[in-house]
Amino acid sequence: MLGDAEIHALDGNLGTIIQQNQQHHTDLQNLLEKFRQLLDSYNNLKSDYEEEKEAREKYKRMARGQFKEHLVKAGSEGGVTAARLLHDSIRELIHDRLGSQADQCRIMVRIYANVLGLSKSLARSGFVGHEARSLAPFAASFTRAQDLFDFVDAGDKKEGADYKIREMFRLFADNNQCKHIFFAGCHDSGYSNLLTPYRGRTDRITLLKGAGFHSEYERLDLPVRELPSVFMSTSLGGNGSMISNHTASPSNTSRSICKHFQKGICRYGTACIKVHIPQGQQLSKSEDHTSSPPGRVSPTPTRNQDYYASNLVPNINPVWYDCIPTNSAGDRIDTYCPMPSHDAWDTYTRRAKIHKPCNKFHLGGDCGNVSCEYDHTRLDPSSLDVMKYILRQRPCQTGPSCRSLKCYLGHLCQKDGCRGTKPCKFNRYAHTLDLHIAGYISPLERRDPGPSPPSESSGEVYSADSNEEVPSMLGTYVF
Tell me how far apart the alpha carbons of residues 161 and 184 are, in angstroms, rounded to a whole number: 13
- Neighbour order of strands in the sheet with 107-113: 149-153, 107-113, 476-478, 180-183, 205-209, 224-226
Tell me how far apart the alpha carbons of residues 152 and 161 are, in angstroms, rounded to a whole number: 9
> CA-based angle 461:467:468, to the nearest 5?
80
Contact 211, 233 (CB under 8 A): yes
Element (H, E) at 326: strand 324-326
110 bridge partner residues: 150
Q: Which pLDDT belongs to residue 468?
A: 33
Q: Which pLDDT belongs to residue 246?
A: 33
Element (H, E) at 477: strand 476-478
Q: Which pLDDT belongs to residue 265?
A: 56
Q: Where are the domains of the chain?
A: 69-226, 305-444
DSSP secondary structure code for residue 397 in this structure:
T
Q: Which pLDDT belongs to residue 139?
A: 92
Q: Which pLDDT belongs to residue 130?
A: 83
Q: Three-class SS of residue 279? A: coil
Tell how far CA 263 is from the center of its chain.
Answer: 16
DSSP codes, 231-250: B-SSPBPTTS-B--S-S--T
Q: Which pLDDT belongs to residue 108?
A: 93
Element (H, E) at 169: helix 160-173
Q: Which pLDDT belongs to residue 27?
A: 86
Tell how far CA 463 is from the center of its chain.
Answer: 23
Q: Which pLDDT belongs to residue 234?
A: 55
Q: Three-class SS of residue 180? A: strand
Dihedral, CA of residue 396, residue 401, residue 402 and residue 408, to nearest 10: 50
DSSP codes, 116-161: HHHHHHHHHTTSS-SSTTTTHHHHHHHHHHSTTEEEEE--S-TTHH
Q: Which pLDDT belongs to residue 284?
A: 43
Q: Which pLDDT belongs to residue 333?
A: 93
Tell me the pLDDT of the chain (479 aa) as tens digits: 677 787 777 778 888 888 888 888 888 888 888 888 888 888 878 776 776 666 555 555 444 446 887 888 888 888 999 999 898 888 888 888 877 777 788 999 999 888 888 888 788 777 788 888 888 999 999 999 998 999 998 887 766 778 888 888 999 988 888 989 999 888 777 888 899 999 989 888 999 887 778 888 888 989 988 887 788 755 544 333 332 333 333 334 345 677 666 555 555 555 565 666 655 454 443 333 333 344 444 443 457 888 888 889 888 877 777 888 998 888 999 999 988 888 888 888 888 888 999 998 998 888 888 889 999 998 889 999 999 998 998 899 888 889 888 899 999 998 887 877 777 888 888 888 889 888 888 888 765 444 444 333 333 333 233 333 322 233 345 44
Q: Which pLDDT belongs to residue 52?
A: 64
Q: Which pLDDT belongs to residue 245?
A: 33
Contact 418, 399 (CB under 8 A): no
